[in-house]
Structures are given as C-alpha cells and as structure tokens.
A and B are shown apart, each in its own frame.
Chain A
Amino acid sequence: MEKKRNVAKLLWLLMFFSDIVPFSCEKSMRERALELMQDARLIDGHNDFVLQLRILYQNKISGVNLRELNKTHTNLAKLQAGYVGAQFWSVYVLCSAQNKDAVRLTLEQIDVVKRMCNSYEELELVVTSQGISDSRGIACLIGIEGGHSIDSSLATLRMYYDLGVRYMTLTHTCNTPWSESSSKGIHNFYPSVIGLTAFGQEVIKEMNRLGMLIDLSHTSYSTVKAALNISKAPVIFSHSAAFSVCNHSRNVPDDILQQLKKNKGIIMVAFNADVLACGRKVVNISTLADHFDHIKEIAGSESIGIGADYDGVEHFPEGLEDVSKYPSLIEELLRRGWNEAELKGILRENFLRVFREVENVRNTFGVMDAGESEILQEEKHSCRLDLGKPQAQPSRSFALSSVAQPLSLTLVSCLMLYYEIYGV
C-alpha cells in the first residue's frame, strides 16, 4: 500500500514536472528567439507596403501616420516589434504599365520611399552593406520588382541605381522584351522570349558592373539558369520558397538550390501561404519552417534569408499575420534544432555576405565600361517616339537654320567684327 502511494506520488510529481518543464522550455525558446533577434535584427528582402501607399493614399503620405496604420500588414511600430533592422521596400509597378508609363510610376514609387524614410526618425535610407551594418534604426533599401520598370534602357537602369535602387527582380508576372517570367497566362507580353535574350545578358552584366543585386524571384527556370551562368556576382531570390516542398512556379527547384550554393547566393524565403502550402488548408509556422529545413538540407543554411512579401499578397500562415510576427519563426526554428550561428545567418549575415560580394564585384569594373547596348527594336509602339537611325545632320523640330549656316555665319561675324574694330 505504502509502495502504491509512493508510486502515485511519484506519478503526480512527474506529471507536475512534465507540465512545468515544457512550459519553461517554450518560454526560454521565445526568450532565446527575442534575444537573438535583438542582437541580429532581421534584413527582410521584400515588402510591398509602398504599393499599398499608392493604392490607399495615392502616395499622399504626409497626413498618414505610418507608425500606427492598421489597414496593412506593415506599420513602423510592428516592424520594430518584429525586430526588423533593414527592409527592402519594393517599388513595384503593375505589369500592365509595361510599354506605357512604367518608368514614371517607378520613379514615383522611389520618391515615396525616400519621402517616407526622410519623414520618420526611426527610418534611415541606406545604399550599402556597411550602411545596413551601421544603422541603429530601420535601414531602408529599395528594390525594383520587374524589368519592365527599366523600359529596356540600360541608362534608366543606371539612373535607378543612382537613386538608390539596389536590386532588380528581372521580371514580375510578365515577360519583358529581354527576360522570361515564371508566370504564364497572366499577361500576354513577349510570349516568345525564353530565358534571357542577348540584351537580357547585357542587363545582367550592367547590374554586375553597377553593383546592383540580381533578383530571380518571379523569373522562369531558363532565366534563372541563364543568370546564374552569366553573373559574376552572387544572386538572390528576394521572396521565393522551395519547389520540392510546394511545386508552385514561384518556387526554386533543388538543382537550382544547389547551383545557388555554388554561386554563394541567397534565397530569402517568402511567407506567402499560396507558395508555401500548394493549396493545403492548414498553413502555419510549421509549414514555413519545412521550407527552411529543406533548403538547409540541399543548399546549406548559409544560402538562406527571409523575404516575407508582406503587403504584396493576401494569405499568410497562421501565426505570421503581420510584420511583428517574425520572432515566431525563429522560435520554431530553434525548436527544430537550428543553432544560433545558423539563425543569425538567415536573419542578416548571409544577406550581408552576398551584398558585400556584389559590391566587391562592382569594384573590379571601371567607369569606362558603362553598357551602351540597346535592345533591337522589333516593333514600334504607339507609346514610343521613333527617332529613326542616328543622323549625320541632326535637326530639331522648331529649328529654322541648318548646321552649315551658323558655321559660315561664324566666319562672317568674325570678319565683320574685325572690320568694326579695325575700321576702314
């Protein structure tokens, strides 16, 4: 009887401890996650908040409190709560602007990012890896989403770089005249383009020369292969996930992940429920963590970052509804046995490595090498002025005199001045 009571007591004690111990572990996992993130604040690869500012406010942000906005996944307070240390703001413009006013719209989005970052003391626009490292607030960077923003112009690409753009996603959901998207059937632009054309290769080279990160999210398998072959610098996927886990066209297959490892590039994993779960009903933090585990297995944790795509899509996993929830992912990965170094890597160190290397590659080029290629114009557009072939004798629409006349007038004028000065 005594024995039975002791056993019973023992059992009760065991049950009691089994209640406490896991609770302590969970709490300490959370605490560990938060401590880790305090030390290594997240660099997130892709956020479409700026698109929402256009949709909701037509970019008129001076009267809007971006700290407390509650219509979006993102606001500044939530970013801080999510331990975000740097954010690439996407300056996406719709594919339907291609061959129309994509350039103007892109400049306007860039302008909104700058105005936003100038207006809030917790935000700081940066353009270098060192700038991210040095930033005490939330470092703001700019990423173009879709090559249609450059309107097939290397000069425009350069001007975007001068404005602070530091990555370009080669396509969005539409082909450009020089690169192929992974999306089929959404738009009907340039259906015969496969991978990268000759001009597309020039774009890659110019991006390497400028020090602009090449982002392969949204691009087709052929485009990815071509870019990985040509690029002298590591590349990124700013917001994609693992094809083996969910075979969505936006995701990256294993063979590419292996090439990415050799390239020393990075896949910044997206939180978009549709690309994580392939239609499964239950989508939660574990679903996302499966992608991280898989990519780590194939390409190593050093190839991984985070690019959630908040405010760019509608559906997010349970538990990751907005930008304050990042610590929950880190907590889950801790639970799965990821160590601190690996987690600091995915939070920021891996991206910084890639960015620094892209900057190093830039330093190997000279200013003399600026790309002067132009795309072969296969078709005339109603939204383009056709200047025709270069001329020997240029003319302007309002000019009345030819070039020859002013030149002869030079001689006449100087002669007349001679006579005037010297007199007769």
Chain B
Amino acid sequence: MPGGNVWVLVLALALPSTGQQHLEEAERIMSTTPVIDGHNDLPWQLLRKFNNQLRLPAANLTLLNDTHTNIPKLRRGHVGGQFWSVYVPCETQNKDSVRRTLEQMDVVQRMCDLYPETFACVTDSSGIREAFRSGKVASLIGVEGGHSIDSSLGVLRTLYRLGARYMTLTHSCNTPWADNWLVDTDDEKPVHHGLSPFGKTVVEEMNRLGMMVDLAHVSVDTMKVVLNISKAPVIFSHSSAYSICPHRRNVPDDVLQLVASTGSLVMVNFYNAYVTCSDKAKLSDVADHMDHVKKVAGAQAKFDGLLVCPVSLERWHCHPPIHCHFWKTINVGVRNQTSLFSP
C-alpha cells in the first residue's frame, strides 16, 4: 500500500534523526565538559613496543595505529584529562620495581615534552582546569601497585614529588602490607585481611601528602579497611559493579554504599571480563554498570561529587555514544549529565 510505505518512510527518516540528536547532544556536552579518564596504560604499551624510545618514527603518537590510544582518538573521544598509569609488573616486586616505575614516570613527562600542543603534564585540579581552557589533555600520573614503592615511605613521598597523584594499593599481587583481589578467589589466601599496620601508615601518609588512594585491584577487606580509615575520599580508578558482573575486580554493593558515604569515586572499567564476566561486551553493558553504581551509591548523595567516568581500554571515539545511551535510558537532565564527566 502506498500510504503504508509512506509511513514507513517517514518513520525511517524520523528515527535516525532522534538518535542523531542524542549523539549531537552528547558531542555538544562533551565539547564543553570533556571527560577525565582514570586509567590508561599507554605508557606500558610504549615500553613494550618501543622501549620508551618516543623519538622512533613508529612511536609517533599522532600516527600510532595499533594501540587503543593515540592523539586523534583522544581528541575525538573528548578526553580532557587522563591519568596515565605508570604500571610495572608484579614480577618486579622485590627486584627493580622502583627504577622501572621512575622510567615510566619519565616517559609520561617526555610525552608532555614532545607533544606540548596536546598534553599538559599537571599535578592538581587547577592544572586540570587550566589544561581544559587551553584545549589540551591534562596529563597526570597514577602509580599502579604498591610494589612500586618497595615498602618505603621515602619512595612514596618522592613519587609524589615527581607528580604521582594516585597509587593503586596493589596490582594483582599482595604487597608486604596489603592484600589484592586474588585473595577473594580460590587462587590465593588472604595474608593481611586488608592492610597490615604498615599498610595503614601508607594510607595515612597518602592522605597527608594529598595523593589519592586507589582501590582498583585490591581485595574486599582492603577496600573496607581503607574506606574506614582514610580521611579523604578514595577512588577506584578502573573497576565496575560486582552485582552486574561478579568478578572480584569489581566493587560489591556494600562497598558501593561506603563509596557513597565517603564521597568517593568509582571510575567504571570497560574491560569485557569485568563488564559482562565473559569475553564479549557491548556499550550498553558498560552503561548498565554506570546505572547500577549510581543507583546503589544514591543519586542524591552529592551526585556531582560522585563521578562515574568510563575508563576505556579501547574505543575512545565511542565516548559520545556511551553518554548518548546513558542519557536515553535514564532521561537525566543536561546539568546532571555535565557533572558526570568532570568534577
């Protein structure tokens, strides 16, 4: 029927334009409020691929095409701030972890030196804002794993002086003073049931310095101990919701409640295994985690202090569609949307 065909045609034209509107709205919001991402392992890639030799032609960050991250993708994804992880493997614990951590911090600094029109290495919130205003990616340093300090408060302090602004207390291995997430699985037994007395001293010193405590990768006991003793809000730089995907890298609901009551932050991870507990995931699955964290932590409890930032391992250029999907699902006002992306 000609009439029916016309309606189909009208619908076919109308529906994409609604989706297009969402995308445009997402782009519009993010162009003035770019995302601060809590965790990116590009420095590790630079080590593994290029031995940190940034001047190799193949290491050109504008042209690099076999990593999740490069400069054009950061731009398209509206990344305004990035914590670069200076991860070194657990296998360096009790060996050369300190030196390797310094080398990773050096490569971040050199990224900023070599690409000054893109990256601005900063160390505080006003530095981030200044980078926003200049249209650069505010670049900060996160230490991933307490093994990087080799059980030394002196080293912790010097890493702070060199610009580190968070430390993930463990990677996937215990330190002599903190338990990691594997003790919540059958793979390992707990040693400290959270933190040893020295571990508590580490958290105190981090509070004193102004270094954020990051609880990604730690055990549930460690999460709870820290959330109870820390005088400052803490972060999970790249973890998702245990209720949605019961992987021990994720944050259970009772801990999410502590997150809410302490004004802390969960920065949602995109890694498939933590998003769907399988090897496949889609954008809406990530958004489900964001919905859940928001639901449990409470929309009212200082929503603008609860920043749920997607941490992408892969698809920078899809940031606007994630935002777009989230907005469509829960119909949150534009002002609240803006606060989701920046403090």
Contact = CB atoms under 8 A, between A and B. Distances in A.
Interface of A: 59, 101, 103-104, 107-108, 110-112, 114, 151, 153, 155-156, 158-159, 162-163, 367-368, 370, 372, 374, 382-385, 387, 390-392, 394, 396-398, 400-401, 403, 405-407, 409-410, 412-414, 416-418, 420-423
Contact of A416 (B51, B102, B283): B283
B154 A112 contact: yes
Nearest to A101: B150
Given A397-B90, A406-B68, A406-B272, A414 B53 contact: no
A336 B55 CA distance: 57
A421 B320 CA distance: 13
Contacts of A111: 154-155, 157-158
B161 A401 contact: no
Interface residues of B, number: 65
A69 B332 CA distance: 65
Contacts of A107: 98, 152, 154-155, 158
* Max count, chain B CB within 10 A of own CB: residue among A112, A407, A421: A421
Interface string B86-124: 010111100110111011011101100110000000000
B155 A104 contact: yes
A403 B314 CA distance: 9
Nearest to A405: B279
Interface string B8-28: 000000011011001000000
A216 B16 CA distance: 72
B89 to A, nearest CB: 6
A368 B114 contact: yes
13 contacts: A104-B155, A108-B152, A112-B154, A155-B105, A159-B105, A370-B113, A400-B273, A403-B66, A406-B315, A414-B318, A416-B282, A417-B318, A420-B325
Contact of A398 (B54, B68, B172, B272): B172
A101 B152 CA distance: 11
B131 interface: no
Given A110-B158, A370-B110, A156 B99 contact: yes
Contacts of A383: 95-96
B162 interface: yes
Contacts of A400: 273, 279
Contacts of A422: 15-16, 19
Counting chain B CB atoms within 10 Å of each CB, the highest count among A107, A156, A410 belongs to A107
Contacts of A384: 95-96
Contacts of A110: 154, 158
B50 interface: yes
A163 B158 contact: yes
B208 interface: no
A407 B44 CA distance: 18
A159 B106 contact: yes
A159 B47 CA distance: 17
Contacts, number: 159
B111 to A, nearest CB: 11
B96 A397 contact: no
Contacts of A368: 55, 113-114
Contacts of A417: 282-284, 318, 321, 325
A159 B48 contact: no
Given A59-B154, A384-B96, 18 more contacts: A101-B150, A103-B102, A104-B152, A107-B158, A114-B161, A155-B103, A368-B113, A370-B113, A396-B87, A397-B172, A401-B272, A412-B282, A414-B321, A417-B283, A421-B18, A421-B325, A421-B328, A422-B19
Tell me which of B18, B158, B313 has the highest count of chain A C-beta atoms within 10 A of its own C-beta: B158
Nearest to B54: A372
A385 B105 CA distance: 18
B222 interface: no
Contacts of B95: 382-385
A38 B55 CA distance: 50
Contacts of B99: 103, 151, 153, 156
B231 interface: no
Interface in B324-340: 324-325, 328
Contact of B51 (A112, A370, A390): A390
Contacts of B100: 385
Given A414-B315, A422-B15, A392 B152 contact: no
Complex A-B, nearest 4 residue pairs according to Cβ-Cβ distance, in ascending order: A394-B48, A155-B106, A108-B154, A111-B154
Contacts of A412: 280, 282
Contacts of A401: 271-273, 279
A392 B66 contact: yes
A394 B110 CA distance: 21
Most buried by A among B50, B68, B106: B106
Contacts of B103: 153, 155-156
Nearest to A160: B102
B273 A385 contact: no
B258 interface: no
A390 B284 contact: no
A390 B68 CA distance: 18
Interface in B250-305: 271-273, 279-284
B62 to A, nearest CB: 15
A421 B324 CA distance: 9
A155 B52 contact: yes
Nearest to B172: A398
Contacts of A387: 47-48
- Which one of B44, B48, B272 has the greatest number of beta carbons of chain A within 10 Å? B48
B313 to A, nearest CB: 6
B45 interface: yes
Contacts of A418: 19
